């Protein structure tokens, strides 16, 4: 059975770490994926000890930080800024026993012109460097391919080949429903079940509007079961690996950002539970 998770991107415009924790606890979520930008805001008025105390006295627990983005093809300045944010995440993760940090390939003009070999070589190099940084903190990297071709790594197959080449215990994969759908409309659903259980770190659950792939974007995400993605079939393939951890609701829908966070978080719990068993 999967565990119910919540990703803070879902209500990030009108919510906060404090509010998300309170509401996720109220509506029975097991885990939360904290956003690094929202954590920095939280620490303006709170300490890491406050966060430790909260998790020690409540059911909900931290699971993955979101996210370190644009990890590929960085110049020196970009890489130093990325490392600074990454190490901030590692330090906090160690203190609150948050096991994963999600890392995301680069979206930038011209990415689609790169060869798959160029993306492979750069990704292996970068993931190894980040894994070296994370290792002393006991933190694992969950690499998430983004299905849109504007991102340099956009298929689960490509990401899995990269993770296999890295071949480290602290580097694995995130499977995200819309990203799996955006690549080729889930043409090879069974590929998910080929991922070894120990390499599947995070599962993001979501749905989307029925739009052409060239038009579909992340703002078109909607609650699971309300769109065109075969969410149940994806969840079933995830479970076939033996995975029994988080199914984390991750949405970037402007309509939800303008709603009362309690309404969205309650609706999210109701929408996701049918996929957990």
Of the candidates 45, 24, 44, the residue with the CA atom closest to the CA atom of residue 34 = 24
Angle at 87 between CA 244 and CA 17, to 5 degrees: 60
Instruction: Check: CB of residue 197 under 8 Å from CB of residue 241.
Output: yes
> Measured over all CA atoms, what is the biggest interatomic distance in the chain, rounded to whole angstroms?
50
CATH class of 3-275: alpha beta
Residues paired with 65 in a beta bridge: 101
Number of H helices, E strands in the chain: 10, 11
Alpha carbon distances (Å) from 20 to 9, 31, 70, 199: 10, 11, 26, 28
Tell me what pLDDT residue 112 has: 87
Tokens standing for residue 2 = 């999967």
Tell me what pLDDT residue 132 has: 98
Instruction: Check: CB of residue 112 under 8 Å from CB of residue 148.
Output: no
Instruction: Provide the 10 A C-beta neighbour count for residue 28.
Output: 12
Of the candidates 138, 196, 124, 193, the residue with the CA atom closest to the CA atom of residue 170 = 138
In this structure, is the dihedral angle defined by the CA atoms of residues 164, 176, 41 and 262, taken in order, positive or negative? Answer: negative
Distance of alpha carbon 130 from alpha carbon 143, whole angstroms? 11
Distance of alpha carbon 38 from alpha carbon 26, whole angstroms? 20
pLDDT digits (tens, 9 = 90+) for 166-211: 999 999 999 999 999 999 999 999 999 999 999 999 999 999 999 9
Distance of alpha carbon 150 from alpha carbon 106, whole angstroms? 8
Tell me what pLDDT residue 12 has: 97
Instruction: Check: CB of residue 145 under 8 Å from CB of residue 151.
Output: yes
Of the candidates 137, 195, 139, the residue with the CA atom closest to the CA atom of residue 170 = 139
Angle between helix 261-272 and 17-26 (nearest 10): 40
Give me the residue spans of the domains in the chain: 3-275
Q: With a cut of 50, list the residues of the chain below it in pLDDT.
A: none
Helix (H, G, I), strand (E, B), or coil: what is residue 100? strand
Instruction: Check: CB of residue 120 under 8 Å from CB of residue 161.
Output: yes
- b/e string for 172-183 if b means 16 or more Cβ within 10 A? bbbbbbbbbbbb
Q: What is the DSSP letter of 53?
A: H
Tokens standing for residue 36 = 């690094």
């Amino acid at each position: 059975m999967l565990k119910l998770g919540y990703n803070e991107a879902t209500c990030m415009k009108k919510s906060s770490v404090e509010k998300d924790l309170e509401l996720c606890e109220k509506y029975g979520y097991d885990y939360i994926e904290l956003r690094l930008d929202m954590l920095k805001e939280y620490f303006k008025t709170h300490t890491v000890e406050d966060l430790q105390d909260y998790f020690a006295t409540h059911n909900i627990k931290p699971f993955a930080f979101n996210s370190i983005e644009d990890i590929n093809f960085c110049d020196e300045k970009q890489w130093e800024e990325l490392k600074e944010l990454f190490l901030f995440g590692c330090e906090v993760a160690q203190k609150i026993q948050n096991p994963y940090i999600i890392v995301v390939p680069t979206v930038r003009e011209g990415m689609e012109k790169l060869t798959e070999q160029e993306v492979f070589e750069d990704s292996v190099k970068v993931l190894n460097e980040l894994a070296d940084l994370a290792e002393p903190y006991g933190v694992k990297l969950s690499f998430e391919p983004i299905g849109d071709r504007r991102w340099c790594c956009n298929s689960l197959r490509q990401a899995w080949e990269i993770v296999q080449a890295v071949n480290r215990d602290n580097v694995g994969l995130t499977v995200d429903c819309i990203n799996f759908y955006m690549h080729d409309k889930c043409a090879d659903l069974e590929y998910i079940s080929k991922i070894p259980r120990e390499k599947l770190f995070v599962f993001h659950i979501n749905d989307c509007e029925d739009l052409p792939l060239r038009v579909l974007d992340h703002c078109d995400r909607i609650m699971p079961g309300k769109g065109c993605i075969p969410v149940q079939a994806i969840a079933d393939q995830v479970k076939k690996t033996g995975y029994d951890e988080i199914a984390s609701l991750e949405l970037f829908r402007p309509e939800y950002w303008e709603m009362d966070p309690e309404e969205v978080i309650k609706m999210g719990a109701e929408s996701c539970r049918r996929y957990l068993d």
